[in-house]
Structure 1
C-alpha cells in the first residue's frame, strides 16, 4: 500500500536565515559580528544568511549545529525544504505536464 505524499505545501517554508534572525540570534543575545566570530566566518556571510540571500551549506550546517547544540541535519533539512519549494514554484507548469509511469 502506497502512502500519497504529493500534496503541495501551501505556504513558503521558513528559510534557515529567518530562523536564525527571529529565534536564535535574539534568544542568545547575539549580534551579526558576535555570531560571525562564534562561527568562525565573515560578517558578510552571516549577514547574507540572515537576509536570506545565502543558503546554508553543509559546512555552515556543521558550524551552526555545533554552536547551538543541534544537528547539522536540522539546518540542512530546513534549507532543503525551502530549496525544493522554490524549485517547485519555478517549474510547476513543466512538472505538471509530466505523465507518471505505471509499473508493469
Structure 2
C-alpha cells in the first residue's frame, strides 16, 4: 500500500484535480490508454493460465485470482507511467522498479 498503491492514488488525484475531467481523459487517451489494452489482455492470459494450473477446484479460483491481483495486474504500471512521464518526480521510485522488473 505505502510503496505502490498510495503513490499512484495520490498522483492520479493530483493530476485529475489539476487537469479536470476533460484534461484527464485527454491525457489518458494520448498516453496510457494506448498501452492498456495490450497490457490488460496479456495480464488476463497470464492470470487465466496460472488459475487453471493452481486452482484444483472451481471454488479455489477466487482465492488464486486474489493473490494474483497485484502480481499480474500490477503490470499495468507501464500504462500509467506513460501518462505521468515528465510530470514530476513523485513516481520516480516506481518508474525505476518498473524499468528493472
TM-score, structure 1 length as denominator? Answer: 0.33
Larger radius of gyration: 1
Greater helix share, structure number: 2
TM-score, structure 2 length as denominator? Answer: 0.33
Instruction: Report which structure shows greater RCO (CA 8 Å, sep ≥6).
Output: 2
